[in-house]
Amino acid sequence: MDLKLVIFDMDGVVFDSEKVYFEANKLAADKLQMPNYTLKYYKQFIGAGTEPMLAQMAKDYGSRELVDRFYQMSMDNVYPIVEAGKLELKPGFKELTAYLDEQSIPYVIASSNFKKDIEYYLEKTNISGRFAHIVSADDVTHAKPSPEIFEKAWKKAGCPAKNETLIIEDSLNGVKAANNAKIPVVMVPDIILPTVYEKEHTVAILPDLVAVRDLIKK
C-alpha cells in the first residue's frame, strides 16, 4: 500500500485497555450494587464515547446521579490498575510502528479517550512521543460513529490524499466513523467480533498489528 498517514484508534488497538476498563467498571458497579453490569453490557459502549455511554446507562439504571458516581469511581479505579502494570501494548504494535518509522510514514492517535489519560497511558508504556499528533475527546463535539475525530486527525496531519491514509480500528462505531470520513479502514478485532457490516466496509479484517504491517508492505 502506498501510504502517507496511519491513524490509530487507541483503546483495543494500541493498548489492550478494554480489559482494564471493564475491571475498573465492574469494581465500581459491584460497590454501588448496580445489577447486571456484565461484559456483554459493557461491550455495547466500546468505541462510542463517554457521554453516549453515560446517557444510556442513566436510562438503564434510572439515575444520572448514580451513573455519574459510577463513572467517577471507575476512573479512580483505572489508575491503580495501570500502576500495577496491567496495561499492555497490543501484539504487533512495536513491529508495525518500527516499519512505519523506517518508511517515514507518520502516524497519529484519534481516540475517544481524554488527552490527559492518553498521555498517561503512553508514558506508562514507554511510548510517549511516538505519535506525530494526538486527537482526543477534548477536541471533538460528536463521538464516533461521527467522522469528526478522524477528520480532525487527518487535517492535523496535513490532509494527505484519503486513499493514501489508513485508519486502524477495533469497533463497529470506529469502522462506521472511518467510513463516514471516507478514509480506508482496517479492523483488528479486540473484544467484539466483526459483523457483516465490518466485513463489507473494511479494507481487511486482520488478527493483529503484525498482519497490518504485512498488508502495508504489499
pLDDT at residue 197 is higher than 90 = yes
Name the band, by pLDDT with cuts 50, 70 and 90, for residue 80: very high
Letter string b/e over residues 55-76, b meaning 16 or more CB atoms within 10 A of that residue's CB: eebbeebeeeeebeebbebbbe
Confidence at residue 49, expressed as pLDDT on a 0 to 100 scale: 72
Per residue in 48-76, pLDDT (tens digit) is 778 889 999 999 999 999 999 999 999 99
Confidence at residue 135, expressed as pLDDT on a 0 to 100 scale: 98
Q: What is the mean pLDDT of residues 107-136?
A: 95
Q: Exposed, middle or buried, 138 (CB in 10 Å: 0-12/13-18/19+)?
A: exposed
Per residue in 184-195, pLDDT (tens digit) is 999 999 988 899
For residue 185, the SS3 value is strand
Three-state SS sequence of 20-37 = HHHHHHHHHHHHCCCCCC
Confidence at residue 32, expressed as pLDDT on a 0 to 100 scale: 98
Q: Please tell me the distance from the alpha carbon of residue 50 to that of residue 58, in angstroms, as a whole number.
A: 12
Confidence at residue 50, expressed as pLDDT on a 0 to 100 scale: 84
Per residue in 149-175, pLDDT (tens digit) is 999 999 999 999 999 999 999 989 999
Mean pLDDT of the chain: 95
Name the band, by pLDDT with cuts 50, 70 and 90, for residue 117: very high
pLDDT at residue 181 is higher than 90 = yes
